[in-house]
Amino acid sequence: MRITRDTTDRLTIGIGQLLRVGRQLSHRAARELYGDLPSYGWAVLVPLESGGEQRLSALALQLGVDGSVASRQVAVLERSGLITRRPDPLDGRASLIGLSEAGRAVLAHTREVRGQWAIDALADWSDDEAVLLSRLVERLSADLAAAGVDRARHPVPG
């Protein structure tokens, strides 16, 4: 059975409210959560933590940004000591970008703060409910990304 119009309206309104709350919280909490880390810092550091050292082009692809944007972001994080850069042993013209120990410490602190916020916000939830929400949010994110890619390839005639 397909999703009804009422359900999609409720869902998109709920997502909009969630995004607004997230923006409000991020403005208020950015200093505590990220310290001097730029707003894009978390998004750049996490793939380096999970994927290890990589070329800038691979990182840009994961971030969904142009190489020049990734280059500027990496330069700022490198100057802050959160990212390391070394020559690629397979191609001396390229560099490998990696996470420094300071970058790992920033991620650990951020996870600790975010984790405590989640514990506080979900205090009345069971673990099963929180796991279900996590799975559904992950699925929604993946499906929205796929729909966006599909829409870009096949725009709806207007």
pLDDT tens across 70-99, in order? 999 999 999 999 999 999 999 888 999 999
Domain membership of residue 18 (yes or no) is: yes
Given this model, what pLDDT does residue 100 score?
Answer: 96
**CA angle, 16 as apex, 11 and 18 as ends, to 5°?**
95
**Looking at the predicted structure, is the pLDDT value of residue 138 above 70?**
yes
**What pLDDT, on a 0 to 100 scale, did the predictor assign at position 55?**
95
CATH number at residue 79: 1.10.10.10
Interatomic CA distance for residues 123 and 115, integer angstroms = 12
Does residue 158 lie within any of the structural domains?
no
For residues 145 and 111, give the distance between their C-alpha atoms in angstroms, rounded to a whole number.
Answer: 24
> What confidence tier does 29 reach under pLDDT thresholds 50, 70, 90?
low
CA 109 – CA 106 distance, rounded (Å)? 5
Amino acid (1-letter code) at residue 64: G
Is the overall model pTM greater than 0.75, yes or no?
A: no
By residue range, what is the domain housing residue 102? 5-153
Domain assignment present for 56: yes
Q: Return the residue matching tokens 């099963």.
A: 128
Domain count, the chain: 1
pLDDT over 80 at 37, yes or no: no
Residue 43, classified by CB atoms within 10 Å of its CB into exposed (0-12), middle (13-18) or buried (19+), is: middle
Structure tokens of 21? 């709350």
Mean pLDDT along residues 148-158: 66
